[in-house]
Amino acid sequence: MRRKWQGTTLFALIMAGTAATIGGRLATTSTPVLGAAQAPQSSIGTTTGSTPASTPAPSSTASPATTSPATAGTPSTSSTTVTGQTEQTPYGPVQVEVTFTGTKITAIKVLQVPDRSGRDAEIASYAVPQLKQEVLASQSAQVDSVSGATYTSGGYLQSVQSAIDAHG
């Protein structure tokens, strides 16, 4: 028996891929493509509209490491990695590790996402890359949640925010 949402999910994924392909072609083409729709600025869905509850301070694993060798006349830039707080969602824990170079967020590594069922893993597989892209672009956890992944998005963004707060 086929469920309705499976077709809808597949359609949404195909449309997102098509929009990304068209957007990439538009960005690399010097002449405009006639009849092609421009890719949306953000592929993220609706906002959650809630503010995260106050939680204990995250554990900070500040491990400075140089990202490039120091050369004469060039100041060395060091990276600091901060582990965000584990956020509990109805589908399982979410936790990230954020790398900062100076005050800039340069990398986000997922330590935990809901994966109790195949559907949890499926949701995380499409939501996490979108969230990572949006956080890196905005340099903030104040981004829209991914439609269809509200709990995972909320946990991810709260964990990122706790790492940002710990970094200072």
Q: What is the pLDDT of residues 31-40, one digit of tens each?
A: 333 333 433 3
User: Three-class SS of residue 95?
Assistant: strand
**Which residue stretches of the chain are H helix?**
4-28, 118-138, 150-167
36-54 pLDDT, tens digit each? 343 334 333 433 444 344 4
- Please give the model's pTM, rounded to 2 decimal places: 0.57
Instruction: Give 48: exposed, middle or buried? Use CB within 10 Å, 0-12, 13-18, 19+.
Output: middle
Q: Tell me how far apart the 2 most distant CA atoms of the chain are, in Å.
A: 67
| Chain-centroid distance, C-alpha 77 | 24
Residues in the chain predicted with pLDDT less than 70, given as ranges, are 1-76
What string of DSSP letters covers 22-53? HHHHHHH-SSPPTTPPPPPS---------PPP
Q: 44-67+77-167 adopts what CATH topology?
A: Sufe protein. Chain: A (3.90.1010)
| Chain-centroid distance, C-alpha 99 | 13
- Residue 48 phi, psi dihedral angles, 5° rounding: -80, -30
pLDDT at 54: 40
